[in-house]
């Protein structure tokens, strides 16, 4: 579910090619605090590699050296030209990949706990101009309630993020860009929001491109070279090894605190409201946490009171 929309300024840059040019460069950008040189540097630091299946999304961060207290969450949307809005091919007949790059104020997003998918849903509808201009005013939906549906793989990847080593997700070729971005959001929802201030993740990277700087990314194969990536497989959480220390302890905390709530929401047996409801729900809650209902005094007292009342009936 989403709540009211909030507006904020997005600084932006459009990266691509002119029909006659050989290399990629920033074609246009906003005229705000971030300069063309800032955009060129930021975009070059977080590249996906040459990819045929577009669109793809990457998230990263940006900040100015002379304003260390002002941070931006950056989102890049890589896609081919569509609907005749831009030049589709270069002079050699190769498809041109355009990168729509946006920088949103981190503190504004953090205050409202706005996630990556919600940001993407607002930004993917924006067609950036090919001439410089003012920052754009964009409207983002604010989250209201979060559905308790925790992916076991997301829990384990969240723990792996604490090792400081990148995590590569394989086997997700048939999933959509939205699904992969939703998974990245799910992982980060299990960690302090503040980690997003320095997070870099991508919905896909070229397997042979080993020089990228993403901490969490999807690909078709492990990166070449001597990278210390932790490789996991989509849909196979049980196969993910968790190293000892903080990662294992954090996963244990998640399983202890989060998993029981998830299991409780999955109980769909009809339950009426009445004198027996309290002990019945308490018993379900304790069982979901692997505890014995008999261990709690409140459960015993409530159960006793319910059984001693001959007129107690569950309403229809």
Res 266: pLDDT:
67
Rounded CA gap, 304 and 292, in Å?
17
**pLDDT band with cut points at 50, 70 and 90 for residue 270:** low
Asked if the model's pLDDT at residue 314 lies above 50, the reply is: no
Res 315: pLDDT:
41
Helix (H) or strand (E) holding 256: helix 246-257
Res 293: pLDDT:
57
Displacement of CA 276 from its chain's centroid (Å) = 41
Place of tokens 């504004």: 108
Where along the chain do its domains lie? Answer: 1-145, 146-266, 270-308
Rounded CA gap, 202 and 76, in Å?
9
Task: Calculate ∠ Cα 55-235-60, nearest 5°.
Answer: 40
Q: What is the DSSP string of 27-61?
A: EEEB-SSS-HHHHHHHHHHS---S-SS--EEEEEE
pLDDT digits (tens, 9 = 90+) for 7-16: 999 999 999 9
The tokens describing 159, both together, are: 């723990």
Q: What is the pTM of this model?
A: 0.84
According to DSSP, the residues that pair with 79 across neighbouring strands are 98
The tokens describing 294, both together, are: 């008999």
pLDDT digits (tens, 9 = 90+) for 247-269: 999 999 888 888 777 677 667 77
Closest CA to 137 of 3, 4, 2, 6: 6
> In the predicted model, what is the mean pLDDT of residues 297-303?
48
The tokens describing 311, both together, are: 């007129």
Whether the CB-CB separation of 40 and 188 falls below 8 Å is answered with: no
């Amino acid at each position: 579910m989403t709540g009211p929309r909030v507006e904020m300024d997005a600084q932006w840059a459009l990266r691509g090619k002119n029909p006659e040019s050989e290399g990629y460069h920033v074609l246009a950008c906003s005229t705000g605090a971030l300069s063309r040189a800032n955009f060129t540097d930021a975009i070059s630091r977080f590249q996906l590699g040459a990819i045929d299946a577009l669109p793809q999304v990457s998230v990263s961060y940006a900040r100015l050296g002379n304003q260390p207290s002002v941070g931006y969450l950056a989102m890049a949307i890589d896609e081919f030209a569509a609907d005749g809005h831009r030049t589709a091919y270069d002079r050699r007949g190769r498809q041109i990949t355009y990168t729509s790059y946006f920088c949103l104020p981190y503190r504004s997003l953090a205050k409202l706990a706005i996630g990556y998918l919600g940001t993407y849903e607002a930004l993917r509808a924006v067609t950036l101009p090919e001439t410089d201009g003012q920052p754009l005013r964009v409207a983002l939906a604010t989250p209201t309630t979060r559905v308790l549906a925790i992916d076991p793989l997301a829990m384990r990847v969240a723990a792996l993020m604490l090792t400081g080593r990148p995590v590569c997700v394989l086997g997700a070729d048939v999933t959509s860009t939205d699904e992969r971005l939703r998974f990245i959001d799910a992982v980060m929802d299990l960690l302090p929001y503040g980690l997003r201030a320095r997070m870099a993740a991508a919905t896909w990277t070229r397997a042979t491109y080993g020089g990228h700087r993403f901490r969490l990314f999807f690909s078709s194969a492990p990166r070449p070279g001597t990278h210390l990536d932790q490789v996991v497989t989509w849909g196979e959480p049980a196969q993910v090894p968790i190293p000892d220390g903080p990662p294992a302890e954090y996963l244990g905390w998640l399983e202890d605190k989060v998993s029981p709530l998830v299991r409780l929401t999955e109980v769909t047996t009809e339950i009426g409201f009445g004198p027996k409801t309290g002990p019945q729900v308490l018993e379900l809650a304790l069982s979901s946490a692997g505890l014995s209902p008999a261990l709690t005094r409140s459960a015993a007292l409530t159960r006793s009171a319910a059984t001693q009342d001959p007129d107690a009936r569950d309403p229809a």
